[in-house]
Structure 1
Amino acid sequence: MPSTAKASSTAPDAIFFDGVIYTGAGFAEDKPQIVEAIAIRGAKVIAIGKSAEITRLAGPKTALHDLNSVTTSTFIFPGFNDAHTHLGGAGRTKLNVDLTGVKSLADMLTQIKTAADAAPAGHWLTGGNWDHTLWEQKVLPTRKDLDGVTGNHPTFLDRIDGHISIANSAALAAAGITGKTQPPQGGAIDLDGSGQPTGILRESAQGLVYRVIPPPTAEERRKGDELAIEDALTHGVTSVQDFSDWEDFLVFEKLEKEGKLHLRISEWLPFKDSLDELKAHRAHHDVNDPLLHTGMLKGFMDGSLGSRTAAMKAPFADDPGNTGLPQYNQDELNKMAVDRAAAGFQLGFHAIGDKATSMALDAFSQSGVSTSARNRIEHAQVVDPADIPRFKKLGVIASMQPNHLLTDMNWAVDRLGPQRAAYSYAWKAFLDAGVPLAFGTDYPVEPITPFRGLYAAITRMNEAGTKTYYPENKLTRGQALYAYTQGSAYAEFAEKHKGKLLPGYDADFILVDRDLYKIGAPAILQTHVVQTFVAGQPRLP
């Protein structure tokens, strides 16, 4: 007999049959459950089993989908739940100067000049996503480089990690930044040999320019958000845990009211905001809304490895004397964590460096809440081995992005030295210690496709397959899929209804053109999503 949520005479809205359907059960044990058919009613899965059994449930209006009759073989998997995105930032990058993947400073300047020539007089040029570690000469750009191509346009372009940005002279002038400007706590203004700004602003110093940039219009913001949502759905992502501006949340809310929001979004709030503001924003929208709600508080402990602003216990191996830029002192952090935990908020801290991770764990230990709070450390890229058991003891989730390794392995050992590098991106070490993993992409720092992350998690090799990074921390196929579906659902308290295709669970699933569990690892990178379903409805544009 088929497995059903409960006995009912109501026929399914849709049945998919004669296929290879991974329910998600058994992923953690690497013993995946596969069924032939699945029945959907409303937004939920109501039955799974053999084709002959499930198709007997069909009524006159049930849509029958024969997975064996399509030209290209398709396989069904639970939809991916990206545990760390920035939809608003991604959308605005798409609408402005998108420098993702540029291979040299010359290419970067060519693209900026094209945008400047096409922009109205005096229009700010924003966006970015440049990455100087991809260039043969891995030297940061300067304001003088930009001045030569930007004309009268103030220009401010962030690095791909968002932790440093480059401003031209017009942007610096608009922000009143000179060689004598004191950076805010946790920030830095790079100066040249004559004591003048180079244009590079690090961490909180970026805010000096952000505050004078005209905000996007309502139409621009919505268009960008819609493009980012479309990108997620196209790549098989059915849920995201997102950190965007409050104005973006209001766009998502409007889309939902119009029946046009087709991606599940749990929106994080800024840890640094006042408690009164946080409580007001939490109360603004039903926290039990299955499509859109507010969730965790996101705080920043430090910066990034790529920009050498991660907070480290010892200096960077390739930058002696530099231990990064912590964003809090411990006492201040502890007090804020205690107050926010007492108000019932889940806490999540961006921590890249080992010192940042230790600071976050110290704050969690002071917050006075049980392990059921499911507090999180986002990234956890470089961790002191002595701190890994503390994750388990405190019930802290390691929310990580395996696709970062594909970019970072080109220079991570140089930054960290071999001893620290051995404990970086340590997915298996966390699992072995009993620490829950939740996977995401950090979109748009990396593309939102989850297939790069799956490949990285199970191979720890570059995309060309020519370089390996400490392979002892590889995961199995099932462990990686679990972290990208059920692990990320657990991280947002949704594991009882999201991440599996079992009766009573959300009907969020994808049809892909290959068996992700059985194909060779390199083939995962070429996966094509045929269709994405959210709440039982096809949602690809």
Structure 2
Amino acid sequence: MINYADTIIHGASFFPGLDLPEDYDYMALKDSRILSMGKGQCWKEYRKPDTQVLEFTKEQLVVPGFHDSHLHLLMSALNYHYVDLFNVRSEEEAAASVAKFAEDHPDDDWIIGLNWYHIDWDRKELPTKKSLDAYLPDRPVFLINTEVHGAWVNSKALEVCGIDDSTPDPESGEIVRDENGEATGYLNETAMGLGAVVALTFDIAKEKELVSLALERYASFGVTSIQDLRPELGYDLGQYETYYQMAQEDKLKVRIHSAANLMDPMDEVIAQREKYNGDLFQIALLKQYMDGVPTTHTAMSLEPYVDAPDLKVEPLGDIEKMKKQIERAHRNGLSVKVHCCGDGAVHQTLDLYENVIEKYGQTAS
């Protein structure tokens, strides 16, 4: 009995994978799985009256779907609506671009921007709230740098977020201040979270809108699945319920393997994993940060920084708690990703992994 195909792709060039034949003429699919690949006219054996036949040419290539193993989904999605500062070359040019975006979007509660990088500016200095205040004194502004390890904000944003000159620095973060102790408008590492929990908190409807824009873009490049690393510095970005509802509504064009926060109570993580465990969306791993980035001297290096030889960089989190959480994750079959930028952070993290393997053995995965 012939197993008929739902769809047949005919005439294209095919790349099934390394060390596999590539001289195929067709691919027959059933229930979204490959039924057969072959040459010549054999494809006609799998055709029935309602089979969809897609005709291609040898100049068109069919490849397996791509999997992006490190992506911040909602953070990425912000790029498709808010102001992109990647190409600006000065603080003033960035502030003017933000002001133009604000003028064009009068109904946005927050003016959000991304991808500024003072290292690429003519003056390689961190920006301050003053340049933003000159254009936007009455609307809160939250601008995320390219590294996503710092945010530049105006005075209104500091006010809305309850940050003033007396606000203490969070653990592993810094509210940068001038020589008089006044907050300059730059929030470093986990201090970003003090603003992000307000500026980047969206309702489910808005998250769906943003995520849809991003997934449309990913799918256009052949990305079929992603690992979404939700935990950011001092906050988690993206609601599980958003992805779950989109999956239920058949609006996910890409499979999402989402990361929970390594430092969350493990019982809660396991309960969430059981609840959100579908084909298109599931909680599949845990994530946290060991260090920051070299440009702001927060990456943990084995050797001193050349321009800051006396600086001692500490881990961004509680190492003992991280150690215990990795052990709990390992025992519950959850993989763990840890952000490491400096070689010192890599050593520290490998020690934690080695500890858990020595205690409980290597997992099958």
**Residue by residue, what CA displacement relative to the aligned partner does 1:171-196 show, whole Å, maximum 9, x if unpaired?**
22333434443212211222222222
Match of 1:68 in 2: 57
Change (3 A) 1:371 1:317: farther
How many percent of aligned residue pairs carry the same amino acid? 28
Could you tell me how far apart the structure 1 residues matched to 2:18 and 2:200 are? 49
Q: 2:251 aligns with which of 260, 264, 270?
A: 260
Could you tell me how far apart the structure 1 residues matched to 2:186 and 2:353 are? 33
**TM-score, with length taken from structure 1:** 0.62
Q: Secondary structure in 2 aligned to 1:371? A: coil
Return the offset for 1:84.
1.0
Q: 1:363 aligns with which of 324, 327, 352?
A: 352
Could you tell me how far apart the structure 2 residues matched to 1:351 and 1:78 are? 30
**Residue by residue, what CA displacement relative to the aligned partner does 1:331-367 show, whole Å, maximum 9, x if unpaired?**
2321221122223321111111111111111111222
Change (3 A) 1:246 1:116: closer
Does 2:109 align with 1:123?
yes
Change (3 A) 1:234 1:122: closer
Q: 2:27 aligns with which of 38, 54, 68?
A: 38
Could you tell me how far apart the structure 2 residues matched to 1:270 and 1:127 are? 25
Q: 1:296 aligns with which of 256, 262, 285?
A: 285
Q: Give yes or no for contact 1:36–1:49 (8 Å, CA) kept in 2.
A: yes
- Unpaired stretches in structure 2, ≥5 consecutive residues: 231-235
Q: Give yes or no for contact 2:200–2:237 (8 Å, CA) kept in 1.
A: no
Match of 1:237 in 2: 223
Return the offset for 1:330.
3.0
**Residue by residue, what CA displacement relative to the aligned partner does 1:212-254 show, whole Å, maximum 9, x if unpaired?**
4373233221110111111111122111111235753322221
Match of 2:64 in 1: 78
Match of 1:169 in 2: 155
Could you tell me how far apart the structure 2 residues matched to 1:269 and 1:55 are? 47
Match of 1:197 in 2: 183
AA of the residue aligned to 2:29: I
- Unpaired stretches in structure 1, ≥5 consecutive residues: 1-7, 375-541
Q: 2:294 aligns with which of 292, 300, 305?
A: 305
Q: Give yes or no for contact 1:90–1:224 (8 Å, CA) kept in 2.
A: no
Return the offset for 1:34.
4.5
AA of the residue aligned to 1:152: D
Q: Give yes or no for contact 1:25–1:33 (8 Å, CA) kept in 2.
A: no
Match of 2:16 in 1: 23
What does 1:429-508 correspond to in 2, within 5 Å?
A: none
Change (3 A) 1:121 1:17: closer
**Residue by residue, what CA displacement relative to the aligned partner does 1:314-345 show, whole Å, maximum 9, x if unpaired?**
22334433454521243232122112222332
Could you tell me how far apart the structure 1 residues matched to 2:83 and 2:163 are? 23
Match of 1:50 in 2: 39
Return the offset for 1:122.
9.3
Q: Secondary structure in 1 aligned to 2:175? A: strand
**TM-score, with length taken from structure 2:** 0.89
Worse-superposed segment, 332-341 or 152-161? 332-341
Q: Secondary structure in 1 aligned to 2:283? A: strand
Could you tell me how far apart the structure 2 residues matched to 1:14 and 1:329 are? 53
Q: Secondary structure in 2 aligned to 1:332? A: helix
Change (3 A) 1:39 1:269: same
Match of 2:328 in 1: 339
Change (3 A) 1:188 1:32: farther
Could you tell me how far apart the structure 1 residues matched to 2:15 and 2:256 are? 24
Q: 2:305 aligns with which of 313, 316, 333?
A: 316
RMSD: 2.4
Could you tell me how far apart the structure 2 residues matched to 1:176 and 1:258 are? 38
Q: Secondary structure in 1 aligned to 2:191? A: helix
**Residue by residue, what CA displacement relative to the aligned partner does 1:502-531 show, whole Å, maximum 9, x if unpaired?**
xxxxxxxxxxxxxxxxxxxxxxxxxxxxxx
Return the offset for 1:157.
1.2
Match of 1:461 in 2: none
Could you tell me how far apart the structure 2 residues matched to 1:266 and 1:285 are? 10
Return the offset for 1:95.
2.7
Q: Secondary structure in 1 aligned to 2:239? A: helix
Match of 2:233 in 1: none
Could you tell me how far apart the structure 1 residues matched to 2:301 and 2:200 are? 35
Q: Which has the higher contact order (CA 8 A, sep 6+)?
A: 1
AA of the residue aligned to 2:132: L
Return the offset for 1:24.
1.0
AA of the residue aligned to 2:3: T
Could you tell me how far apart the structure 2 residues matched to 1:34 and 1:353 are? 45
Q: Secondary structure in 2 aligned to 1:83? A: strand
Could you tell me how far apart the structure 2 residues matched to 1:142 and 1:277 are? 39
AA of the residue aligned to 2:42: E
What does 1:500-539 correspond to in 2, within 5 Å?
A: none
Worse-superposed segment, 98-107 or 77-86? 98-107
Return the offset for 1:51.
3.2
AA of the residue aligned to 2:243: F
AA of the residue aligned to 2:261: P
Could you tell me how far apart the structure 1 residues matched to 2:116 and 2:89 are? 9
AA of the residue aligned to 1:88: L
Could you tell me how far apart the structure 2 residues matched to 1:181 and 1:34 are? 66
